[in-house]
Structures are given as C-alpha cells and as structure tokens.
C-alpha cells in the first residue's frame, strides 16, 4: 500500500513540475511573439516610409543621381597651400616650419596618412 502511495505522489509531483516548466516556456514564447510583432510593425512602417517618393529621391541623390536639366554644385573644402617651388623652407602657421624637397614630401605623406 505504501508503495502505491509513494508512486502516486511521485507521479503527481513530476506532472506538477512538468506543468510548471511548460507554463514558463509558454510565457517566454508569448513574450518573444510580442517582441516579434512589435518589430514587424516597426519594419512595416520603415518599408512604407522608404517606398515614398521623397525617400526614394533622397536615396538617389545620395548615390549621385540628378534630374535632367538640373544644375549641380559640389562644395569641396580647400586644401592647404602647397609649398612654393624653389624655396627651401615655407612657413605655414606662426611657429611651424615645413621642410621642402624629399623630406617635406615624406613628412606631408606621413601627415596625410593619419588625417
């Protein structure tokens, strides 16, 4: 009789533990589904905005496309003045010296490598 009672308690306990684990998994999956639904909504909004004519034009302009007959102006930053040929040393900013010739070329190359 005791063996049957022990077996019944063990069976009930194991089923209870299984039920608790499955409930935890269900809650984790529901949470994951809610996150995926929010992500899907966000992606759908991004796709609808990206498909708009304004967004398509902006993307095309970033790639360098223009409309026919449109005049395009390219704004560039001016470079620093080059060393004058024939002079040994040139001065840029006060207190700084730039050496001409091969050493100046190497120094210029080295600086441009890091900027």
- Residue 25 falls inside a structural domain: yes
Residue 106 lies inside a defined structural domain of this protein: no
Q: Which domain holds residue 8?
A: 2-62
Query: Is residue 77 in some structural domain?
Result: no
Residue 39's pLDDT band, with cuts at 50, 70 and 90, is: very high
CA atoms within 13 A on the CB side of 84: 7
For residue 28, is it within any domain? yes
Tell me the sheet residues that pair with 90: 98
CB 101 within 8 A of CB 93: no
**How many domains are contained in the chain?**
1
**Banded model confidence at residue 103, pLDDT cuts 50, 70, 90:** confident
pLDDT in the model for residue 98: 52
Q: Is residue 22 part of a domain?
A: yes
Domain assignment of residue 58, yes or no: yes
């Amino acid at each position: 009789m005791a063996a049957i009672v022990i077996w019944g308690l063990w069976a009930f306990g194991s089923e209870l533990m299984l039920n608790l684990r499955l409930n935890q998994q269900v809650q984790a999956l529901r949470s994951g589904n809610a996150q995926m639904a929010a992500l899907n909504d966000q992606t759908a909004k991004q796709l609808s905005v990206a498909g708009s004519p304004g967004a398509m034009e902006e993307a095309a302009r970033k790639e360098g496309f223009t409309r026919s007959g449109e005049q395009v102006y390219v704004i560039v930053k001016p470079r620093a003045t080059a060393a004058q040929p024939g002079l040994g040393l040139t001065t840029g900013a006060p207190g700084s010296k730039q050496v001409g010739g091969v050493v100046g070329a190497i120094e210029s190359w080295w600086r441009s490598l890091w900027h």
